Amino acid sequence: MPEGDTIFRAARTLDRALAGKIVTRFETVLPKLARVDDQTPLRGRKVERVTSSGKHLIIEFSGELFLRTHLRMNGSWHLYRTGERWRKRRDDMRLVIATEDFEAVGFNIPVAEFDGVGAGFSRPDRLKPVHTLGPDLLAEQFDADETLRRLRERETAEIGEVLLNQHVVAGIGNIYKSEVLFECEVSPFKKVSELDEETLRRIMKKGRAMLQRSTRERPRWSVYQRGGQPCRKCGTAMCPKCQK
């Protein structure tokens, strides 16, 4: 499943191509989206911005209409120049947002829904389920205190499990859970109650730094899918020495 950094990069790419442009064509095979488009057509609306929140990608259109997508395991967004040949089968297409210059194509996207005033809702600032997410590690202003509070609410759970809970902190999946805890020398099986505040804050800080770095450069994994291989720190088997 794509993690927060992947969604952040996808949103940034789509925003650079689409923001400020007028929708010339909207196409979808998803009935829920088609119904909204029939009632309040997307064609002629302006793409205001494309953002990410944790693992959710949100496209905002003029008229206070929002499209939220979640890629789950197999979904992806592609961006093409108008007329450019798609790199995936048309049967895999779920929706297309076209402007004069570009086509944003969502392939195999399992979760896509409109929200906001333009879709008949009154609270465009409270997109569901985005507003129930924990603080986003890639947000410009990350609320570490609120994240710490949410972590402490789950003191009997293992830290590896809690970091995957998007209602505690948004953006971390299996890869970064493994990498962050390795870098912080914390076992994923430790209970939250066994970790002091300094350690929890170090985990949050490291997670934020790793996700931010991966939006700029290709990451290199230290532990993810490296079971049985030598530890990159000490050279012994993964990883009783470096991750007690």
- pLDDT exceeds cutoff 60 at 120: no
Claim to verify: residue 97 and residue 14 sit in the same structural domain: yes
The pLDDT of 150-175, averaged and rounded, is 96
Q: What pLDDT does residue 19 have?
A: 98
User: Is residue 53 a part of any domain in this protein?
Assistant: yes
Claim to verify: residue 53 and residue 106 sit in the same structural domain: yes
Q: What average pLDDT does the chain have?
A: 90
The pLDDT of 211-233, averaged and rounded, is 82
CATH number at residue 92: 3.20.190.10
Claim to verify: residue 101 and residue 174 sit in the same structural domain: no
Q: Which domain holds residue 76?
A: 4-132
In this predicted model, what pLDDT tens digit does every residue of 76-96 receive, in sequence order? Answer: 999 999 999 999 999 999 999
Closest alpha carbon to 186 in 207, 165, 212: 207
- pLDDT exceeds cutoff 60 at 125: no
Residue ranges in 164-222 assigned as alpha helix (H): 174-183, 197-214
User: Is residue 232 a part of any domain in this protein?
Assistant: no
Entry pTM: 0.81
- pLDDT exceeds cutoff 60 at 206: yes
Claim to verify: residue 62 and residue 110 sit in the same structural domain: yes
- pLDDT exceeds cutoff 70 at 167: yes
- pLDDT exceeds cutoff 90 at 226: no
Claim to verify: residue 110 and residue 148 sit in the same structural domain: no
How many domains, the chain? Answer: 2
User: Is residue 223 a part of any domain in this protein?
Assistant: no
In this predicted model, what pLDDT tens digit does every residue of 10-48 receive, in sequence order? Answer: 999 999 999 999 999 999 999 999 999 999 999 999 999
User: Is residue 33 a part of any domain in this protein?
Assistant: yes
Pairwise pLDDT comparison (3 vs 17), residue with the higher score: 17
Domain end residue (candidates: 110, 132, 154): 132
CATH number at residue 166: 1.10.8.50
Claim to verify: residue 76 and residue 155 sit in the same structural domain: no
Evaluate whether 127 touches 119 at the Cβ level (below 8 Å): no
Claim to verify: residue 151 and residue 117 sit in the same structural domain: no
Query: What does the DSSP assignment read for 42-88?
Result: -TT-BEEEEEEETTEEEEEETTTEEEEEE-TTT-EEEEEETTPPPSS
User: Is residue 81 a part of any domain in this protein?
Assistant: yes
Tokens describing residue 5: 């950094």
Pairwise pLDDT comparison (236 vs 69), residue with the higher score: 69
